[in-house]
Structure 1
Amino acid sequence: MILENGVIRTMEPSLPTARGLAIAGEWIAGGVGTHETALASPDRVDVGGRCVVPGFTDSHVHFPTWA
């Protein structure tokens, strides 16, 4: 999958943002600039200029539901 046309926050001080992000399965395969948008991919998502921050997950749990 390729996310394109966005602001990708890389959390890397030497390259804080990228315009595209390539995802292969569960792995981030690339995100260094605009060259990801040239890759062949059946799944392309135009994020419409939105900000994407890779790596965040919702890990909260409601313990009473397991009691």
Structure 2
Amino acid sequence: MNELIIYAVVFAALIGHCLLAGKMYRTVHQDSGLTLREKNDWKLKALIFPGYFWFQYKKSKA
């Protein structure tokens, strides 16, 4: 039973990670104010730590 709970938590974290990374990826891709290199840098960061870099991206745009 403990394994099932652990797998469920890991699965939920993985799904959340993927959804947030995808959201950031789309937002960065649509930003016409960034160069291709900047877009690629933000997209790579979105794959590593999407939650942290999402707020960093929003802070840099404000």
Q: Same fold (TM over 0.5)?
A: no
Structure number with higher relative contact order (C-alpha < 8 Å, ≥ 6 residues apart): 1
Q: TM-score w.r.t. structure 1 length? A: 0.25
Q: TM-score w.r.t. structure 2 length? A: 0.26
Q: Determine which structure has the larger strand proportion and give its number.
A: 1
Q: Determine which structure has the larger helix proportion and give its number.
A: 2
